[in-house]
Structure 1
Amino acid sequence: MSIIGQGIDRTDGRLKVTGAATYSAEHQLPRLVHAVMVLSTVPKGRIVAIDSAAIKAMKGVRVVMTHQNAPRLAHSKGAQHEDKAKSSGGQQTKPDKKQQPPNPKLSLLQDDRVQYNAQPIAVVVADTFEQARDAARSVKVRYAKEPAQLNLDQARQKLRAPEAQPGRPSESKRGDAAAALERAPVRIDALYTTPIENHNPMEPHATIAAWDGDHLTLYDSTQNISGVRRTAATTFGIEPEKVRVVCPFVGGGFGCKGSTWSHVMLAAMAAKLAGAPVKLVVERTQMFGPVGARPLTEQSLCLGATTEGKLTAITHDTVSHTSFVDDFSEPCTAVTRKAYQTESLHTTQKLMTLNLGVPTYMRAPGESTGSFALESAMDELAYKLMMDPIQLRLANYAERDPEKNLPWSSKSLRECYRVGAERFGWAKRTAEPGSMRAGRMLVGWGMATAAYPANRQGAKASATLLADGTAVVRSGSHDLGTGTYTVMTQIAAEALGLPVSKVRFELGDTSMPEAPVSGGSQTVASVGPAVWQAARGVRHKLILMAVADRGSPLHGVAVTDVDVADGWLSHGTDRARREPIGAVLARHGGQSVTAQSNAEQEADKKKQFAMQSFGAVFVEVHVDPDVGTVRVPRIVGAYGVGRIMNAKLAHSQLMGGIVWGLGMGLMEKTEIDWRYGRAVNENLADYHVPVNADVGAIDIVVVDEQDQQINELGAKGIGEIGITGVAAAIANAVYHATGKRIRDLPITPDKLIV
């Protein structure tokens, strides 16, 4: 029986439920002191004065780090500015853009500039957390305020295209979409909007920084230990080998911990000044501003179709907000460019720049927001055509990737539509809005397509078979609560031929073989093959030892005729010829056997195939006709996501994505006071997310899908596809229930009772 695919319990589960799992803020270091950030309270201006003298006199305070005394950084804008001023006789000059640091979004106290409200402007270090927090809240700052760009209407007058990224063009075209729309007998033209949303993982960002000479160790809550290492090395002008980043557990990330934010480097800078290890935990209210958010989007989407429902043109023009500090573009058009077959398509991405913190990745960035617009528009088209929404999608089914004109490595979307509709009971739906009821409640049924790229990057791993017959497998990856420890243990156990109980997988340390960022739903698809190859390398070495060993019952057997399973080596046909792994190692002096791997996707594969995961989401809503409240008693999701590595964890990931989609559709919104550019619901009480009482029955089915093109395991990522399409399916169900089309998320009661 294959170990891969079994829904075994989390190997790290006991550590977590007993409190033995060590998160970033829980590492114990001698002489540890505590730091708290001070954030700006104006959206733009200069710091005229910071009253640090009085703060330094407070009990326990060791350091008050501001732009006046922060270590000068060789690669910072402030340091370059200062150096150029010196070389030009004191005259201020603009920093050379070519000399900018690789991570310009970092606010590292190198100058007196304030570019957004809640920007880090000081760090207070004290003996205890309470002392540091008290001192930080006592800091008095005087500003020279400047006019801030916080007016959306004005910002729209200065739209600009983002810098194109690989796979994320700011504009894409095929055919003549404008002309095709003019000719189309049926058209949909609508504007869809999504708000700023903030990550709220249970574990906030946290860093412990410790220097030993010019060597730096960072215990950081991150999705990218190698990225943090590179940023630290660049920031402090030291070799990457002198930076170690440790992160064995992450209490939720969802994209916000994929980047290196200011607090990480500020902790290291404060540790330099304090002469002791420094712990800096970002407070819950500080999660709104300096560590990113999903940007607001305004999406104008037009569909042109024949009277039979065949799409003839799609245009999708997106505006999302970015920051004056650095750019971030929400790639909303990514899903539109390849979702449905049409000969004419035109998409654009534009940015409006505001004095807010830099936006960042949030679960399925672009696909979640973009699918809301596209799948809502498809539903509107279906109603206009008086056509079943599933039939409309099947009529425009893309047999190949329309953007790249490549065959799919695998695509099971037809089966997802069929299975999902069957399990939901879609055939019982009456099409007329407002035609279904449950008592006094209006009942609505809606559906949408889910999609997300099947991403993969290169990754490394090592595997070591020990004298006692157990194995240790390592890769510098991450477990965000997604189950990486467990899945990699299963992959390694099957590759080695050992029981799961005999394999220990380790991650979260840059001293281990390098792995990519745990983002883009790519960890299993990337690290899994590396683990498999390293473990198979050890297995092969073990077999070679046995067949060459005169003391082994397998001596002289062809390597291909030896099986390894459940801790035993055996002849493929003569099962009497077998011995335990430990016996082979013992005869060779008890030496361990090690293999390394560097797993890269074959370059030709990406040129030959388009790689994507697909699904279909079906939602039932109950709407109170008097007060406009929306309840979601059930959701069905059917997905084609390659070979499943662990059935239980896959179900958990898909369910989690659906729940987040529920929140996106009905609750999540960061309320900004546009006078000052600060979030007013910067806490878990006022920033609404679904709780157990909001979540009804969730039925998930994964259709059988084989994909040998993405990797030898056939594994695709599943962390993000679950959120895609859910908000649209809810909006479509609300329309079916009420006849009111809500194009502005979240769908709150006030929008339904107007």
Structure 2
Amino acid sequence: EAARLIVVEYGKEKFEVTIEDLKGKGEKPKHNRFPLPKNRGHADRVFEKAEFKISATYTTPAQHHNPMEMHASTVVYNKDDESLTVYDKTQGVFNSQSFICNIFGLSKKKVRVVSPFVGGAFGSGLRPQYQLFMATLAALDLKRSVRVVLSRPQMFTFGHRPKVLHDMELSADSKGTLTSVKHEALSETSQFEEYSENVVAWSSEMYQCENTSLDYRLAKVDVYTPLDMRAPGATSGMFALESAIDELAILAGVDPLEFRVQNYSERDQNKDKDYSSKELKACYKQGAEAFGWSKRGKTPRSIKEGHNYIGYGMASGIWEALQQPSRAKARLEADGKLTVSCGTADIGTGTYTIMSQIAADSLGLPLDKVDFKLGDTDLPLSTLEGGSWTAASVGTAVHNVTQSIAEKVFKIAKELPHSPLAKAKFEDVEFKDLAIRLKDDPTRQIPLSSVVVTQKDGFIEEDTTTLPNKLKQMPYTRNTHSAVFVEVKVDGDLGIVEVSRVVIAVAAGKILNPKTARSQVLGGVVWGISQALQEHSPIDPQFGRFMPAFGGLITSNDSPMLFHATLWPTDQPCPLPAVNRSMY
């Protein structure tokens, strides 16, 4: 009754939701997460005198993550001790735990966050979303368990990939040498929070060029704060750069692939460092051969099949190869069961699988003997699952802790009465078939059970904290690289676009699992096609709200039936043996 008596009056205020109206009014980020590299040479001066030059504006639209599983939080209120057990959709349980504790003034001992499975996130689970706050608030107030689930339309009410305007100026000389690159970006952020991405730096790193100029500014609009979305910044910036490179190559009369090879960068010019490895040329070569790039028409619209014009296109790809601190714990029992744990997440990339593989490999165990646990604040501390660093970060911790178990098993085995390994060194032995044995004489072995049963607790347990080796990593820039080749058919009468064929070659370090790695590459390609052809989140300029019904997604029929992926393994300085950017 009281609610019916309340009269609500609204006042109109001017609002801004389109960054086009703010062009030229952007502000440099006050706290840029990715400081721009220094400009090189005299880009403007060289551009004006260049023989071939292009000047263009590219727009990358706002996009929403929209994973299959919508965001939801279940807060179980434990009346006995007033503690909370929270089941949250998140890419980092420790992040959600800290959020709850800081907001509501609770001890971490009173808040346990669990998230063993995540139905996709793509960055949307990096920050706690508002359903977690609402569920926790209600549970504490009502002193009972509460669940809050966002609807699909509500998935458009928080973070998104920001809309960006890219002003590009590129020039080349008569020999097809890139002489200047200028990339200025205007990206949206909210009125109440600053969000920045690494959008433009790729343009002065990808190709050899002595004259570069970069600028990155933010436009404050009345939208929710943007949020990291798969390859944040690079997805937008590389689209603009690669589009401009194509246009310049055609203008200069140079094959787009040859133009990229001719202007290949052997060093990171932004940081003046060598790459830990760079196999992009190999990606170009393998991809082009598998695709049949040599059959490409020399000019646009030169190949036709019925009503369809057939176009060949290609682009380079790059992303960071990062490692973060991580902890892991392992326990080996007498029956050969190995339990390894870390509070990381599996957002569908295969974390359970590859961590189990790494652990099994260290002790020569079959996979069914390994139990990997994750997604729980009761487990060892881990960073967020994001940034493509989980395999290298958690994988290294798992490798190290299981190696510690192996060394401890060896030490105990040596000291057993009449041990056949008494005079052996650790490098002389191997673990296989639930035993530790000499490499050069497998008959001299000791079952793992015989080692473990000698321990008072009936198991062997180790835990470890793994940090990035900064001294080893600092001299290098560490990236993954790729080359993508695409065949596109466009109906000359109706403009219908069909992506008929895709070939991608990826230099991603050591491939821990070919099946899950290929799955990741395939998913990235499909999403790229979707982004290029349909995906965008238009905003209603009258009411200032995103219109989810107008943001299309591709279907199975839109995906290419002919897909070829080459995963190029490399030996690179890294934590795991021969791994730099391990791939899921």
Q: TM-score range by the shorter chain?
A: over 0.9
**Aligned runs of 1:714-729 on 2, under 5 Å?**
714-718=579-583
For structure 2, which runs of at least 5 residues remain unmatched after alignment?
none
**Aligned runs of 1:508-527 on 2, under 5 Å?**
508-527=375-394
Question: Relative to structure 1, is the Cα distance of residues 211 and 534 closer, same or farther in structure 2, using a 3 angstrom cutoff?
Answer: same
Q: Does 1:383 align with 2:247?
A: no
**Structure 1 partner of 2:559:** 695
Supply the distance in 1 between the matched residues of 2:75 and 2:7 (Cα, whole angstroms). 26
**Aligned runs of 1:338-487 on 2, under 5 Å?**
338-487=205-354
Q: Which amino acid in 2 is paired with 1:708?
A: P
**Structure 2 partner of 1:261:** 129
Q: Does 1:219 align with 2:87?
A: yes
Query: Deviation per CA, 1:370-391, whole angstroms, max 9, x where unpaired?
Result: 1110001000011011101111
The answer as to whether partners of 1:547 and 1:559 remain within 8 angstroms in 2 is no
The answer as to whether partners of 2:19 and 2:187 remain within 8 angstroms in 1 is no
Question: Relative to structure 1, is the Cα distance of residues 165 and 211 closer, same or farther in structure 2, using a 3 angstrom cutoff?
Answer: farther
Supply the distance in 2 between the matched residues of 1:595 and 1:714 (Cα, whole angstroms). 24
Query: Deviation per CA, 1:488-522, whole angstroms, max 9, x where unpaired?
Result: 00001111221111111110001111111111111
Q: Which amino acid in 1 is paired with 2:97?
A: R
For structure 1, which runs of at least 5 residues remain unmatched after alignment?
1-50, 56-138, 720-754
**Structure 2 partner of 1:586:** 453
**Aligned runs of 1:59-78 on 2, under 5 Å?**
none
The answer as to whether partners of 1:253 and 1:480 remain within 8 angstroms in 2 is yes
**Structure 2 partner of 1:533:** 400
Instruction: Identify which range, 442-451 or 215-224, moves more after superposition.
Output: 215-224
The offset of 1:605, in angstroms, is 3.0
The offset of 1:439, in angstroms, is 2.1
**Structure 2 partner of 1:315:** 182
Q: Does 1:302 align with 2:169?
A: yes
Question: Relative to structure 1, is the Cα distance of residues 400 and 566 closer, same or farther in structure 2, using a 3 angstrom cutoff?
Answer: farther
Report the secondary structure of 1:533's partner residue: helix
Query: Deviation per CA, 1:581-636, whole angstroms, max 9, x where unpaired?
Result: 11221244561111111111111234200000001000000101111110001100
Supply the distance in 2 between the matched residues of 1:155 and 1:499 (Cα, whole angstroms). 60
Question: Relative to structure 1, is the Cα distance of residues 249 and 603 closer, same or farther in structure 2, using a 3 angstrom cutoff?
Answer: same
Q: Does 1:203 align with 2:69?
A: yes
Q: Which amino acid in 1 is paired with 2:116?
A: P
Report the secondary structure of 2:220's partner residue: strand
> Moved runs in structure 1, 4+ residues, more than 6 A?
none
Query: Deviation per CA, 1:527-559, whole angstroms, max 9, x where unpaired?
Result: 100000000001110111100111543334333
**Structure 2 partner of 1:288:** 156
Report the secondary structure of 2:205's partner residue: helix
Query: Deviation per CA, 1:218-254, whole angstroms, max 9, x where unpaired?
Result: 2110111111122222111233343221100000000
Supply the distance in 2 between the matched residues of 1:52 and 1:358 (Cα, whole angstroms). 35
Supply the distance in 2 between the matched residues of 1:152 and 1:587 (Cα, whole angstroms). 69
The answer as to whether partners of 1:171 and 1:346 remain within 8 angstroms in 2 is no
The offset of 1:305, in angstroms, is 1.6
Supply the distance in 1 between the matched residues of 2:582 and 2:87 (Cα, whole angstroms). 27
The answer as to whether partners of 2:36 and 2:201 remain within 8 angstroms in 1 is no
Q: Does 1:601 align with 2:468?
A: yes
Percent of residue pairs bearing the same amino acid type: 36
**Structure 1 partner of 2:364:** 497
Supply the distance in 2 between the matched residues of 1:362 and 1:638 (Cα, whole angstroms). 23
Question: Relative to structure 1, is the Cα distance of residues 468 and 718 closer, same or farther in structure 2, using a 3 angstrom cutoff?
Answer: closer
**Structure 1 partner of 2:51:** 185
Supply the distance in 2 between the matched residues of 1:430 and 1:357 (Cα, whole angstroms). 45
Query: Deviation per CA, 1:641-660, whole angstroms, max 9, x where unpaired?
Result: 00000000000000000000
Question: Relative to structure 1, is the Cα distance of residues 679 and 300 closer, same or farther in structure 2, using a 3 angstrom cutoff?
Answer: same
Report the secondary structure of 1:143's partner residue: coil
For these two proteins, the number of residue pairs brought into alignment is: 581
The answer as to whether partners of 2:43 and 2:181 remain within 8 angstroms in 1 is yes
Q: What TM-score do the two structures reach when normalised by structure 2?
A: 0.96
2:15 aligned to which of 138, 148, 161:
148
Question: Relative to structure 1, is the Cα distance of residues 708 and 484 closer, same or farther in structure 2, using a 3 angstrom cutoff?
Answer: same
The answer as to whether partners of 1:644 and 1:715 remain within 8 angstroms in 2 is no
Supply the distance in 1 between the matched residues of 2:238 and 2:92 (Cα, whole angstroms). 27
Query: Deviation per CA, 1:674-719, whole angstroms, max 9, x where unpaired?
Result: 111112225xxx4311211111121101123111336445041547
Q: Does 1:238 align with 2:103?
A: no
The answer as to whether partners of 1:465 and 1:471 remain within 8 angstroms in 2 is yes
Q: Alignment RMSD, CA only?
A: 1.9
The answer as to whether partners of 2:399 and 2:576 remain within 8 angstroms in 1 is no
Supply the distance in 2 between the matched residues of 1:706 and 1:695 (Cα, whole angstroms). 33
The offset of 1:407, in angstroms, is 0.6
Supply the distance in 1 between the matched residues of 2:93 and 2:25 (Cα, whole angstroms). 37
Question: Relative to structure 1, is the Cα distance of residues 566 and 162 closer, same or farther in structure 2, using a 3 angstrom cutoff?
Answer: farther
Q: Which amino acid in 2 is paired with 1:200?
A: N
Q: Does 1:277 align with 2:145?
A: yes
